[in-house]
Amino acid sequence: MMDKVRVRYAPSPTGYLHIGNARSALFNYLFARRYNGDFIIRIEDTDKARNVETGEESQLHYLKWLGLEWNESVDKDGGYGPYRQSERGHIYDPLVQQLLDEGKAYRCYMTSEELEAEREAQIARGEMPRYGGQHAGLTEEEEKALVAEGREPSIRLRVPKDKTYTFNDIVKGDVSFESNGIGDWVIVKKDGVPTYNFAVVVDDHFMEISHVLRGDDHISNTPKQQMVYEAFGWEEPKFGHMTLIVNEDKKKLSKRDGSIIQFIEQYKDLGYLPEALFNFIALLGWTPEGEEEIFSKEEFIELFDEKRLSKSPAFFDKQKLTWINNQYMKEKDTETVFEMALPHLIKEGLVEENASEAELDWARKLVALYQEQMSFAGEITTLSEQFFKEDIEFDEAANAVISDEHIPELMTALHSRFGELEDFSPQTIKAAIKDVQKSTGYKGKKLFMPIRVAVTGQTKGPELPDTISLIGKEKTLSRIAKLK
């Protein structure tokens, strides 16, 4: 094994950065930093039909937003490039020819229709579908005849018979596969493009990757990749396959799962903090010692131990995510939280796009009022909706509060005292409520709960005098008057 730790995250630019890929990148990043190694980002872009124009840019942008820095990639050459597979044909081609020359690979001229017919017949017989090796021993004349028919060949690797491929997985321990269950597989497609399981081995070898940490869905690829290492006489890296992420129904997290937000871009747009998302993702399938769950990036690097990667599926707990983000939101400086929340207020038409300084100052106070409660910045629009409504709608709990027989007396006294205030600040409002308490004799829940419900429509919320001050004198008096 190589002395220096070198790991890679190798996305395909066929889509945008989602939770599963972000976790793979993050664990590789923590592993590299923990052992003073290198973290490489390589772009596997050979599937041109599925590539998204901004896919590569998006992947790098949101990895950077999450706080991941890399040692090498398309924007930082470390001497092992190119870092896009589409630019590495000059490396793959002679190696493919070497395998052909050594008889370890061969050209297969079977059509997709013939292969599909073979597959269906095997399934009908209850067999595991695999290529039967029909073109594994073609003579030169037979090949010429097939070429004359206009057939384009793929290139297949000869799979050794009766061989067991084993590896000691960092997460799972000893894993083995029987070669007889794997037919000769394609290393170069008919269009001349190397397949994933061939190209990834070549790239990992020449980039001197020491450890391959990836999702559990790749484990069945490992024996095929071992065959390529074996064919060239190369040393294998150490493999580790992280368990799947599952939803509340214990089903594998899927991009089509509408119950969970999938893409990092969406979390950024909703107003989640990158350091909170980093914290949450780092706990998806990895557990630190002790009960603490909030750590800085530097603490995660110091604590990270690959032996503590979970063998059980990682549960995506939405409530835990909002709790973690709330912990970070509470500690963030108010100006940053305001800058994150303002676009959401503008989008909903609650604050003018070209708001005056006075309006922005009001909005800043509004965000500060709810900072302790906010799970993410976009939540400000629902938390503060009572500030923008003319009429309040009372729910069952609120109606129970304002139906008490003392409410008209309390509201009459409150309306009179608030009406006298020239300075409608939290301090004067607090003093006025105290005066009403003395004059009416109502205190505690009999006093504060009805005031909150009358003015906000809610039974709980942030500091009452601050809330009333921000709602404003005119709107407050109007709401109280309806319950006199």
Q: Give the residue numbers marked as catalytic.
A: 255
CA angle, 161 as apex, 159 and 164 as ends, to 5°? 90
First to last CA, the chain: 81
Dihedral over Cα of 411, 416, 417, 420: its sign: positive
**Per-residue CA distances from 177 to 185, 251, 282, 308 (Å):** 15, 25, 30, 25
φ and ψ at residue 311, rounded to 5 degrees: -90, -10
Continuous segment of H or E residues that includes residue 467: helix 464-471
Let me know: does 235 contact 120? Beta carbons within 8 Å: no
- Rounded-to-10 torsion of CA 46, 52, 56, 60: -140
β-bridge partners, 39: 7
**Per-residue CA distances from 447 to 139, 400, 402, 438, 451 (Å):** 96, 14, 11, 11, 7
Indicate the burial class of 1 (C-beta count within 10 angstroms; 0-12, 13-18, 19 or more).
exposed
Strand 211-215 and strand 314-315: the pairing is: unpaired
